[in-house]
Amino acid sequence: MYVACANCGNLNKEGEATCYSCGQELVAAPPPPPVSNEPLPEENPWQANLDIRVQPLSPAKGGDPSKGRFKDLASRYEARAVPKTQANAGHGLRAGIPAGLLTGAIMCGFRKSQVDDLTRMAIRKYPKMDKHGSQIMGYTVCYDLILGLLIGVALGLTNLLCFPFEASRTGAILGALAGGVLSFMVGKGYSGALIGAVEGLLLAWLACMIETKLFRGGK
């Protein structure tokens, strides 16, 4: 058996009093530490986060590192509800009906002062009708209510009801088509297509706002 010298590390025969190389007294090696039977602690996957400290002052400038506090990593995140954007024809109907009525009320104010293709069609059927009377206002509300039902269903089926830009664009296209049909039937140019595009855009935007703000509680 050989014993390593604690000073130089050379091996000496067991029982020798001094090291043959450096002459230092040979000291018996300390006994090995006892083996612990306790289970090792489980690794904490968030331990690294607990070690992150925020120092109020720089230690190099005289700050006291012992006054550091643990950093709240959750404070940098804000929990928000995920908006529900899925829509169907039923959602389009419930938003399109009030949107059509609101658009009809706005268009009643327009037809109080202007004559468009819808007014001309009504007067062709009823020549004695007042161009700006209550009957024209009734036709206006009915027309926009039907247009609201069609645009609402289209937006619901295409799942565009909760997207204002896409919904307004689709509504403008459908409104222009409906206005173009009126212009073709009246035969007075195609100004009705432009009015219909604005009418459809407004209606679709209102339907989108009603669905997201009123029925879905969006912000």
User: Could you report the per-residue pLDDT of 53-74, keeping only the tens digit for each?
Assistant: 454 445 555 556 565 555 555 6
Tokens at 49, concatenated: 């986060």
Asked if the model's pLDDT at residue 26 lies above 70, the reply is yes
Which of 37-41, 79-83, 97-101, 197-201 has the weakest average pLDDT?
37-41
Asked if the model's pLDDT at residue 79 lies above 60, the reply is yes
Residues 6+ apart with CB under 8 A from 30: none
Please give the C-alpha separations between residue 10 and each of 24, 28, 30, 31, in angstroms, as whole numbers. 11, 14, 17, 19
What is the reported pLDDT for 146?
95
| Rounded average pLDDT over 186-204 | 90
Assess contact for 203 and 144: CB atoms under 8 A.
Answer: yes
Q: Which residue has the higher pLDDT, 32 or 61?
A: 32
Asked if the model's pLDDT at residue 44 lies above 90, the reply is no
When mean pLDDT is compared over 72-81, 150-159, 186-195, the highest value belongs to 150-159
Q: Which residue has the higher pLDDT, 116 or 219?
A: 116
Q: Give dist(CA 121, CA 185) in Å, integer.
A: 8
Q: Give dist(CA 206, CA 97) in Å, integer.
A: 10
| pLDDT, tens digit, 9 for 90 and up, residues 88-142 | 999 999 999 999 999 999 999 999 988 889 998 888 888 888 888 899 999 999 9
Question: If we measure between CA atoms, which residue out of 116, 144, 138 comes closest to residue 207?
Answer: 144
Q: Which residue has the higher pLDDT, 76 or 114?
A: 114
pTM of the predicted model as reported, rounded to 2 decimal places? 0.63
Which of 33-37, 103-107, 204-208 has the weakest average pLDDT?
33-37
Confidence of residue 173 (pLDDT cuts 50, 70, 90): very high
Q: Give dist(CA 215, CA 84) in Å, integer.
A: 11
Asked if the model's pLDDT at residue 145 lies above 70, the reply is yes
What is the reported pLDDT for 25?
79
Residue 72: how many other CB atoms lie within 10 Å: 10
Compute and round to an integer the Cα radius of gyration of the chain: 42
Q: Give dist(CA 108, CA 138) in Å, integer.
A: 9
Amino acid in position 173: I
Assess contact for 173 and 157: CB atoms under 8 A.
Answer: no
What is the reported pLDDT for 55?
47
